[in-house]
Amino acid sequence: MTTIENRYANEVYAELGVRPVVNAAATLTRLGGSLVAPPVLPAMAAAARNFVDVVDLGRAVGRRLADKTRNEAAYVSSGAAALLTLGVTACIARSKGGGLVEDLPYLDRTGEKTVIMYRDQRNPYDYAVRQVGVRIVEVGPEPAELEAAIDGRTACVLWFAGAHFAAGALPIEQVVEIAHKAGVPVLVDAAAQVPPVSSLWHFTAEVGADAAIFSGGKGLRGPQSTGLMVGKEWLIAAARANGAPNHSLGRGMKVGKEELLGLLAAVEWTLQQDEPELIAAYEASVEKWIVGLSGLRGISVSRGYPSEAGQPHGRAIVEIGPDSGWSRDELIGALWRNDPAIAVAPDGTRAIALNPQTLQPGEDDLVLAELQRLMRMRTKEDL
């Protein structure tokens, strides 16, 4: 076996009949998010050695994370989607004294409380908001639309970060200004917005949003089953009051002592990394793919920027033409049938995207070699 092949000799997966995956797609939950940073597993193992008051531990971890990320407060829960639910719940709790809210989810379809979202930012994570029982009010990009939508039932404005969400919405600075003038809090979903690591304080400490939400298992490289919310003390306190182990809407959205210490270790490690060097490594892989695939029959290769999540690094966009002998979906399937499987992302109707963010050293060469092999075949029947 070569060194790369040895890496994928995973006895546990093999025993279960499951193949490991080379992830050139993205930090997707269905592929396991990211591989955890080096200090994460030791931190989780240390947490597993003792019982502890998990509420006290959560508060202590929150204080440390708030300090590290330049925020008033921080809270760890079971993923970014869970924190959307808890963030909206916290904003509702604000009007009820800031504590436990016992009458959720609201079932009145007329909307006892509403959440304002930009029409062009609606996405499948709406479910995390809608399960609170609020009614979503859509607005367009004009400031007057946001101003007119705010009324006495508005719990918050929810704004999604990332270049791919920018069209059709006001910049976050204007959203905060308009909402706060009306006394309405602003939540930012920034689940995949690391890198840049400055996102951890930009939306809150610099722009003034009341909270920002991040996935623990994407760019932060913490446990996949975690999410991080940072922001104002009042909002974090209300989210904590309605989260596990308290019996409110967030009772099932718990993390254990292992995940708490694992995410703390991941954030501390992330803050110590040389981000420009990391981005340069991503770009080197993209350039390698562009050079290595250019000139092959029936395809064209270009650099896509930013990433699919609006992160500040490129991807290789490989457009599959009819002369290649492949359709886009057939090529994706051929890559997936490898052992290890190779995951790539569809892009548009005729292209695949190769993302370097989730690759380990040497895996960009593996992806390139397999694509070259497939594309040099005259027909798929040669497989």
What residues make up the domain containing 245?
40-272
- Are residues 220 and 196 in contact, defined by beta-carbon separation less than 8 angstroms? no
Last residue of a domain, one of 241, 257, 272: 272
Domain co-membership, 101 together with 194 = yes
**In this predicted structure, what is the pLDDT of residue 188?**
98
For 305-328, the pLDDT digits (tens) are: 999 888 999 999 999 999 999 999
**In this predicted structure, what is the pLDDT of residue 100?**
83
- Tokens of residue 122, six digits: 């609606």
Within 10 angstroms of residue 58's Cβ, the number of other Cβ atoms is 23
**In this predicted structure, what is the pLDDT of residue 95?**
77
**In this predicted structure, what is the pLDDT of residue 303?**
98
Within 10 angstroms of residue 357's Cβ, the number of other Cβ atoms is 25
Domain co-membership, 283 together with 268 = no
Q: b/e per residue, 99-115, with b = 16+ CB within 10 A?
A: ebbeebebeeeeebbbb
- Tokens of residue 296, six digits: 């092959």
**In this predicted structure, what is the pLDDT of residue 109?**
52
Last residue of a domain, one of 230, 246, 272: 272
Domain co-membership, 53 together with 8 = no
**In this predicted structure, what is the pLDDT of residue 108?**
57
Domain co-membership, 149 together with 229 = yes
Domain co-membership, 297 together with 279 = yes
Last residue of a domain, one of 237, 272, 307: 272
Domain co-membership, 19 together with 153 = no
Domain co-membership, 302 together with 229 = no
Domain co-membership, 315 together with 222 = no
Domain co-membership, 161 together with 241 = yes
- Report the C-alpha dihedral over residues 257, 259, 265, 270, rounded to 10 degrees: -160
- Average pLDDT of adjacent 10-residue blocks, the chain of 383 residues: 57 91 96 97 98 98 98 98 97 83 71 91 94 95 98 96 90 98 98 97 98 98 98 97 93 96 98 98 98 95 94 96 94 94 96 97 96 79 50
- Report which of 226, 228, 261, 305 is spatially closest to residue 29, judged by C-alpha positions: 226
Domain co-membership, 303 together with 220 = no
If one counts the domains in the chain, the total is 2
**In this predicted structure, what is the pLDDT of residue 9?**
67
For 196-235, the pLDDT digits (tens) are: 999 999 999 999 999 999 999 999 999 999 999 999 999 9
Domain co-membership, 21 together with 48 = no
Domain co-membership, 20 together with 103 = no
Return the CATH number at 189: 3.40.640.10
Residue 243 DSSP class:
B
Q: At what angle do helices 275-293 and 363-375 cross, to 10 degrees?
A: 20
Return the CATH number at 371: 3.90.1150.180
